[in-house]
């Protein structure tokens, strides 16, 4: 007996060094893998933030505008010549500019959207008419780019989009504190626009939210119900096996296929409106359902059968067993699956292109059937635009999208932690 | 002669059934090990539950081979036998818990008060309220101690007010001998109790529904002698009103609390008889091997 024990110890000792070494190597590999992924993540975030943070600031002009009575007809404020008000105010500031060509260049410093801002201002408050006051107006995107240093000053004039003369005026305005970088509210309050300085993500965010709302409202109940039925009620036979295989396959179908399906069924057969969050939500529901069903089934499976037996054993019906005991225990896993599905849906572009959500839409959607676009599509559209100012906006929009995604995943983690129960 | 007589005359008396006593006198030889017919007295006159030719299959594997036995009113029937011989499988047939195992099929006839419990019309919800079960492994709900015990009474609508429910919970916990330990922390999770406490919690949970037949699968396997004694007292008390079938590996326990004992061997019901007779004068060689420790 003692000899046997001793030889066991000896054998254990002999192998011990090798076993520890293996463990060390494995730990090292694991740490290396984690470090690499963190580095890549930092690189990704770093480059996006470096590119995008400047989009949150925007060049704005403070101009002394006199709201002349003779130009503003109280009965027809909509069609008044607001551009002329701005031109006059600029000429006042630069009285020495006289040639028509120079004046045209001078007027270019102000965004074409400035006139609309004045219009909105006057229409909201007609008492402005006849007064004279300092108004903050958006500058043109080229001015913005110059102030942010994206347009180099030291290259020959022909190689940049801002002339030497314009640079002089800009410097003059900056010196007079009439031109500066301010917080870019427009980016958060406006819809898309051809002019970078007038474009914002509000439309895309609203579109994304409406689309996700439809997706969530449809896919969560349907997914959970399907999972509960398949896991708890369905007899296990060839049919349910077949359904299971198909659901797993659906999860692997490229998302654009769901878009084609949506185009064929929802738009062409059912005649639903194009570019609408409702249709986008339906398409994304098709896409997320398999994810939710699979995650929900897995979390139902992980509820120990002894809990079901306990409930059934004292005479709970199947429905009571499920709703009182199984579902509460499975809920964290189901919610996590749903949120991950939602996050996937939030980042999805391809299927939405098919149903027309890629259109250039200026208005912020107000409902489920209004034409809309979504954040990732907006990013795609901006990334495709030639203006330099859209580059930073692309990155800024990505930052917003990532913020939403991180928030959603954070919620998933939080829910899991909160409702996680031990048994 | 009914089994009631036996109860009145107490545990110490061997049931004076004519057949059995005749057998006892002649038998010095045991039934041989190869013989798998049930010997002894599986049938009684006023049976609460009647099982005839019960077979249990897990997939293609047969776990119970044609068991016929009665469970009398107000008796404690102990089931003993080596591990894996099918005690739990058989016990779970009696309130159709085997329905929950996908691969499990049950054949044969099981009657409760003359009604086939596997009949087409039978609803398992009232059946399980009537035939309660304490499982082999403690399985409290991951809810508070109070909710664990109250659950059955709540879903079956046995109480009409909160105070009534409180009473039911307290009563059940007292019966299971757990009240003193948990009365000040009823809101804490039942899963936070020790293994033995969880087992008693599960007993309390089953008792709170006041089932008429209680199936207990090794209810004392994780209990210390004191808690075991409490549970045994409970069983003896419950016996006055209810019928109890208990699986146990503890033969002293079987001898202490049961009136009749059934010995299972590899899926066969080998011997049934009055407990005292089984432990003093088994008819079957396998039974003798087991109780004298030569098997398993
Ligand atoms: N769910 C199941 N699936 C497949 N086989 C099972 C299942 N449950 C039990 N069995 C088999 O049925 C036989 C009887 O098992 P059972 O649990 O009834 O034994 P037991 O007498 O209760 O044993 P123990 O005293 O160890 O609890 C065993 O051979 C076991 O392997
Ligand atoms: Mg068992």
Q: Return the structure tokens found at A331.
A: 């809920």
Average pLDDT over residues B110-129: 92
Comparing B18-22, B112-116, B121-125, B203-207, which segment has the lowest mean pLDDT? B18-22
User: What mean pLDDT, rounded, does chain A reach?
Assistant: 89
pLDDT tens for A76-108 read 888 888 888 889 898 888 888 888 888 888 888
Nearest to A243 by CA among A303, A301, A279, A289: A289
Nearest to A222 by CA among A132, A289, A128, A129: A289
Asked whether the beta carbons of residue B128 and residue A314 sit closer than 8 angstroms, the reply is yes
pLDDT tens for B174-216 read 988 899 999 999 999 998 898 889 989 999 999 999 999 999 9
> Can you give the pLDDT at residue B6?
37
Residue B1 vs residue A204, higher pLDDT: A204
| B86 Cβ inside 6 Å of ligand 1 | yes
Asked whether the beta carbons of residue B151 and residue A312 sit closer than 8 angstroms, the reply is no
Tell me the CA distances in angstroms from B265 to A182, A410, B24, B37, B271, one per residue in order: 88, 56, 22, 11, 9
Q: Ligand 1 atom closest to Cα of B56?
A: 12
pLDDT tens for A399-416 read 999 999 999 889 888 887
Asked whether the beta carbons of residue B155 and residue A320 sit closer than 8 angstroms, the reply is yes
What proportion of chain A, given as a percentage, has pLDDT over 90? 41
| B85 Cβ inside 6 Å of ligand 1 | yes
Query: SS3 for B77?
Result: strand
> Can you give the pLDDT at residue A421?
58
Average pLDDT over residues A393-400: 93
Give the predicted TM-score (pTM) of the model. Answer: 0.81
Nearest-Cα residue of chain B relative to residue A421: B142
Question: Cα A400 from chain centroid?
Answer: 5
Of A304, A308, A317, the CB nearest to B100: A308
Asked whether the beta carbons of residue A316 and residue B155 sit closer than 8 angstroms, the reply is yes
| B83 Cβ inside 6 Å of ligand 1 | yes
Long-range interactions of B185-189: CB distance < 8 A, separation 24+: B185/B145, B186/B144, B186/B145, B186/B146, B187/B144, B187/B145, B187/B146, B188/B144, B188/B145, B189/B142, B189/B143, B189/B144, B189/B145
Residue to test with chain B: of A230, A231, A315, most B Cβ within 10 A: A315
Show the domains of chain A with their CATH numbers: 60-176 (no CATH), 202-419 (1.10.3720.10)
Instruction: Kindly give the interhelix angle for A2-52 and A388-419, rounded to the nearest 10 degrees.
Output: 140
Instruction: Check pLDDT > 60 for residue B3.
Output: no
Tell me the CA distances in angstroms from A346 to A139, A320, B211, one per residue in order: 33, 35, 53
Chain B residues in contact with A317 (beta carbon < 8 A): 125
> Can you give the pLDDT at residue B13?
37
Instruction: Check pLDDT > 70 for residue A191.
Output: yes
Instruction: Check pLDDT > 90 for residue B140.
Output: yes
Instruction: Check pLDDT > 80 for residue A5.
Output: no
Check if the beta carbon of residue A304 is closer than 8 Å to that of residue A236.
Answer: no
Nearest to B73 by CA among B94, B56, B54, B49: B49
Show the domains of chain B with their CATH numbers: 5-16+36-291 (3.40.50.300)
Ligand 1, pocket-test mutation among B61, B63, B67, B90, most atoms within 8 A of CB: B63
Task: Read off φ and ψ for residue A70, nearest 5 degrees.
Answer: -70, -20
Question: Cα A419 from chain centroid?
Answer: 28
> Can you give the pLDDT at residue B16?
40
Q: How confident is the model at residue A194 (pLDDT cuts 50, 70, 90)?
A: confident
> Can you give the pLDDT at residue B1?
36
pLDDT tens for A225-254 read 999 999 988 888 899 889 989 999 988 899
Q: How confident is the model at residue B167 (pLDDT cuts 50, 70, 90)?
A: very high
């Amino acid at each position: 007996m003692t000899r046997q024990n001793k030889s066991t110890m000896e054998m254990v000792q002999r192998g011990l060094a090798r076993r520890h070494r293996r463990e060390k190597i494995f730990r090292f590999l694991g740490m290396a893998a984690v470090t690499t992924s963190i580095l890549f993540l930092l690189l990704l975030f770093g480059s996006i933030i470096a590119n995008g943070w400047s989009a949150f600031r925007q060049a704005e002009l403070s101009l002394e505008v006199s709201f002349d009575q003779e130009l503003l007809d109280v009965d027809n404020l909509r069609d008044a010549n607001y551009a002329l008000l701005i031109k006059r105010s600029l000429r006042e500031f630069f009285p020495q500019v006289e040639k028509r060509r120079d004046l045209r260049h001078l007027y270019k410093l102000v965004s074409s959207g400035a006139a609309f801002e004045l219009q909105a201002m006057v229409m909201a408050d007609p008492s402005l008419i006849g007064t004279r006051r300092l108004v903050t107006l958006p500058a043109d995107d080229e001015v913005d780019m110059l102030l942010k240093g994206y347009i180099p000053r030291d290259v020959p004039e022909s190689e940049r989009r801002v002339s030497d003369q314009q640079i002089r005026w800009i410097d003059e305005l900056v010196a007079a504190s009439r031109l500066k970088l301010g917080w870019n509210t427009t980016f958060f309050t406006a819809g898309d626009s051809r002019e970078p300085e007038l474009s914002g993500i509000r439309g895309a965010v609203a579109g994304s939210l409406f689309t996700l709302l439809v997706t969530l409202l449809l896919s969560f109940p349907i997914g959970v119900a399907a999972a509960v039925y398949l896991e708890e009620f369905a007899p296990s036979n060839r049919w349910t096996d077949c359904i299971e295989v198909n659901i797993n396959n659906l999860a692997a179908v490229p998302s654009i296929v769901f878009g084609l399906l949506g185009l064929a069924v929802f738009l062409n057969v059912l005649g639903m409106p194009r570019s609408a969050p409702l249709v986008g939500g339906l398409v994304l529901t098709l896409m997320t359902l398999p994810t939710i069903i699979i995650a929900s089934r897995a979390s139902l499976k992980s509820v120990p059968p002894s809990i079901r037996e306990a409930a059934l054993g004292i005479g709970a019906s199947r429905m009571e067993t499920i709703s009182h005991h199984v579902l509460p225990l499975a809920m964290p896993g189901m919610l996590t699956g749903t949120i991950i599905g939602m996050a996937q849906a939030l980042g999805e572009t391809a299927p939405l292109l098919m149903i027309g959500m890629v259109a250039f839409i200026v208005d912020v959607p107000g409902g489920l059937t209004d034409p809309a676009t979504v954040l990732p599509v907006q990013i795609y559209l901006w990334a495709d635009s030639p203006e330099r100012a859209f580059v930073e906006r692309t990155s800024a929009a990505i930052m917003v999208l990532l913020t939403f995604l991180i928030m959603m995943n954070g919620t998933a983690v939080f829910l899991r932690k909160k409702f996680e129960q031990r048994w | 002669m009914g089994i009631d007589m036996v109860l009145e005359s107490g545990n110490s008396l061997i049931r004076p059934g004519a057949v059995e006593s005749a057998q006892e006198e002649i038998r010095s030889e045991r039934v041989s090990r190869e013989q798998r017919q049930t010997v002894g007295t599986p049938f009684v006159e006023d049976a609460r539950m009647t099982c005839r030719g019960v077979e249990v299959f897990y997939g293609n594997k047969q776990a119970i081979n044609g068991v016929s036995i009665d469970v009398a009113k107000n008796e404690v029937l102990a089931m003993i036998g080596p591990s894996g011989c099918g005690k739990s499988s058989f016990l779970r047939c009696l309130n159709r818990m085997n329905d929950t195992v996908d691969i499990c099929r049950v054949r044969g006839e099981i009657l409760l008060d003359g009604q086939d419990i596997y009949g087409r019309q039978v609803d398992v919800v009232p059946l399980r309220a009537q035939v309660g079960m304490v499982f082999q492994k403690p399985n409290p709900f991951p809810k508070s101690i109070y909710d664990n015990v109250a659950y059955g009474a709540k879903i079956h609508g046995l109480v009409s007010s909160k105070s009534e429910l409180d009473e039911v919970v307290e009563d059940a916990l007292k019966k299971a001998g757990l009240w003193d330990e948990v009365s000040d922390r009823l809101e804490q999770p039942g899963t936070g109790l020790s293994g033995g406490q969880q087992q008693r919690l599960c007993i309390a949970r089953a008792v709170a529904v006041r089932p008429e037949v209680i199936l207990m699968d090794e209810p004392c396997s994780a209990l210390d002698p004191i808690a075991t004694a409490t549970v045994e007292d409970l069983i003896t008390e419950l016996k006055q009103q209810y019928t109890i079938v208990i699986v146990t590996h503890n033969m002293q326990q079987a001898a202490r609390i049961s009136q009749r004992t059934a010995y299972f061997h590899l899926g066969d019901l080998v011997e049934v008889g009055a407990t005292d007779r089984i432990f003093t004068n088994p008819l079957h060689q396998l039974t003798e091997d087991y109780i004298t420790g030569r098997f398993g």
